[in-house]
């Protein structure tokens, strides 16, 4: 049996392991990735990690500005794909593209569907306090991560997990899932099954406002959110009207008016929350470097009972 012809669509580092898996199970005839984006102070365009890997393999790389422009589907048609594999490409695929490959388009999604449909499943799994996540291989339809499922692989979420530590684990798991399940799907051994009708949770795109610490929430929830939003957008509050980032903290059992300073000393800055308290360990005042909270306090006095922080 000849190896399947695969068109791969993906963009960030998360997708590279899936691309590597496709090299193992078929012939990758083309790679589609987002256009190069300007980065850094120079504003020079930077290729995506997927593009870099594809060029290393000498593969054709397509970077359409828009997928819905009819000539792009015509361009893709010349590669005669048996299947299109999509991992974190970054755009919704139009109907004509979904219908182009013989076996349709399959997607590696970074959650156990239908939980966390959307752009940021990894972050929201941590933010919601889930103890388990995983990856799902599904056949794509026109909806947002609504297609029928082919297979899943599960992974525990560690108590101190951050998005930064979970990303590479799930990326590797996605590659394993493709190696195990894509050949079985293409041979007809795996049949797509509809997603469960219950348990759907959305995972919307994350923005800077999600980093704002709302001390009315519980300390446990705010700690989860910091871990979920590490490395970006992190967590911050306002101190005297200026951004005060918190890079590391731990939940504690202190009680008080939400936002009130309970203690400030060598062990950190303890702030009351809606339930429990948070101890700030590593902080970054606006315009300054990251420092230990104790070092910050050597030049800034915070009185217990005061409410210097605002969200």
Binding-site members for (6S)-5,6,7,8-tetrahydrofolate are 111-114
Instruction: Return binding residues.
Output: 111-114
Biggest CA pair distance of the chain: 74
Enumerate residues 6+ apart whose C-beta is below 8 A from 76. Answer: 7, 30, 32, 62, 97, 100
What CA–CA distance (Å, rounded) separates 176 from 199? 25
Rounded distance, CA 130 to CA 231, Å? 19
Say how far apart CA 175 and CA 24 lie, in whole Å.
10
**Can you spell out the DSSP letters for 70-132?**
HHHHHHHHTT--SEEEEES-SSPPPHHHHTSSTT-EEEEESSSTTEEESS-HHHHHHHTT-SE
In angstroms, the CA 244 to CA 276 distance is: 21
The answer to whether 110 and 152 are in contact (CB under 8 A) is no
Q: What is the 3-state secondary structure (H, E, C) of 200-268?
A: CEECCCCCHHHHECCCCCEHHHHHHHHHHCCCCCCCEEEECCEEEEEEEEEEECCCCCCCCEEEEECCE
Nearest to 142 by CA among 89, 186, 192, 97: 97
- Tokens linked to 52: 């870099």
Q: How many CA atoms lie within 13 A of 220 on its CB side?
A: 7
Please, what is the end-to-end C-alpha distance for the chain in angstroms? 61
């Amino acid at each position: 049996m000849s190896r399947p012809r695969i068109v791969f669509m993906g963009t960030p580092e998360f997708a590279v392991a899936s691309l590597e898996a496709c090299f193992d199970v078929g012939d990758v005839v083309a790679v589609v990735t987002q256009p190069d984006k300007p980065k850094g102070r120079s504003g020079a365009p930077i290729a995506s990690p997927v593009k870099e890997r594809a060029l290393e393999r000498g593969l054709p790389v397509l970077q359409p500005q828009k997928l819905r422009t009819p000539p792009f589907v015509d361009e893709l048609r010349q590669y005669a794909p048996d299947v299109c594999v999509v991992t974190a490409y970054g755009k919704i695929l139009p109907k004509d593209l979904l219908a182009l490959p013989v076996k349709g388009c399959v997607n590696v999604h970074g959650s156990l569907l239908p939980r966390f449909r959307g752009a940021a499943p990894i972050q929201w799994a941590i933010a919601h306090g889930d103890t388990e996540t995983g990856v799902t291989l599904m056949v794509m339809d026109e909806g947002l991560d609504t297609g029928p499922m082919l297979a899943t692989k599960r992974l525990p979420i560690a108590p101190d997990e951050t998005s930064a530590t979970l990303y590479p684990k799930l990326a590797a798991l996605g590659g394993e899932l493709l190696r195990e399940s894509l050949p079985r799907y293409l041979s007809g051994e795996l049949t797509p099954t509809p997603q469960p009708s219950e348990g759907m949770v959305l995972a919307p795109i994350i923005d800077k406002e999600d980093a704002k610490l709302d001390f009315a929430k519980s300390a446990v929830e705010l700690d989860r959110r910091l871990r979920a939003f590490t490395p970006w957008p992190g967590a911050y509050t306002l101190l005297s009207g200026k951004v005060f980032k918190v890079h590391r903290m731990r939940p504690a059992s202190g009680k008080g008016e939400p936002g009130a300073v309970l203690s400030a000393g060598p062990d950190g800055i303890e702030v009351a929350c809606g339930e429990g308290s948070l101890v700030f360990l590593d902080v970054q005042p606006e315009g300054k470097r990251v420092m230990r909270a104790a070092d910050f306090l050597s030049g800034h006095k915070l009185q217990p009972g005061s409410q210097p922080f605002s969200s």
